Chain A
Amino acid sequence: DQQVKQNSPSLSVQEGRISILNCDYTNSMFDYFLWYKKYPAEGPTFLISISSIKDKNEDGRFTVFLNKSAKHLSLHIVPSQPGDSAVYFCAAMEGGSEKLVFGKGTKLTVNP
């Protein structure tokens, strides 16, 4: 049973446009959410996080939105750049737990 779902395996956008990556979760005990970016042959790197007490968190070109009632979060990248081409993983954590649960990832391609 997948608790964190990224239903789009891939996404392609033009440079300069907005990229929107989506993530759904089923576990209502999740209270902390993170996005990681992964380039081929490298380990994932942390991008941005959000606590369940917030509905939005911004860091430069990256914004994460959380809709708790819908159990949905999204990552917006504006403007998208070719260097953003990577696999993006959504991850979630329960309160009191040290364990991250990852989605399967979405491969983003930003075309010049």
Chain B
Amino acid sequence: NAGVTQTPKFRVLKTGQSMTLLCAQDMNHEYMYWYRQDPGMGLRLIHYSVGEGTTAKGEVPDGYNVSRLKKQNFLLGLESAAPSQTSVYFCASNRRGRDEQFFGPGTRLTVL
């Protein structure tokens, strides 16, 4: 099992460009999450999904959109990137809310 994978690993964008981060899990988990981690900060929840076709806002959802069209995939979109979105993005999944979350290796995004 690959667990949770994230694509790409690194990306540099210019202000105003758009991109999509892909998260995939092969553990048949219902729940999936997107977090961002900034220097000196903990992980902050951007959006999450409790099942295929569902999404919900987390703590810092502004500037991001998500989609969960397939159970195994959770996409995070930036429509118009801003320097404030420079961060490391982590995807996670679990079977249900109270289970441990399994994290991907992260995507390092720089917005110039």
Contact residues, A1-30 vs B (CB, 8 A): 4, 6, 9
Residue pairs across A and B with CB atoms within 8 Å: the count is 53
A42 touches B101 (CB 8 A): no
Known: A43-B90, A44-B90. Is A89-B106 also a contact (CB below 8 A)?
A: no
A104 within 8 A of B: yes
Chain A residue with Cβ nearest B57: A99
Contact with A along B76-112 (1 / 0, CB 8 A): 0000000000000010100001101111111000000
A102 touches B100 (CB 8 A): no
Question: Separation in Å of the B70 CB from the closest CB of chain A?
Answer: 19
A41 touches B106 (CB 8 A): yes
When distances are taken between beta carbons in the complex, the residues of chain A under 8 Å from B50 are 98
Contact with A along B40-68 (1 / 0, CB 8 A): 11111100101000000011000000000
B105 touches A43 (CB 8 A): yes
The binding surface of chain A is classed by DSSP as loop
B97 touches A43 (CB 8 A): no
A105 vs B104: C-alpha distance when bound (angstroms) = 18
When distances are taken between beta carbons in the complex, the residues of chain A under 8 Å from B100 are 34, 46, 49
B97 touches A44 (CB 8 A): no
A99 touches B42 (CB 8 A): no
Known: A32-B98, A34-B100, A43-B4. Is A102-B106 also a contact (CB below 8 A)?
A: no
Question: Separation in Å of the A16 CB from the closest CB of chain B?
Answer: 28
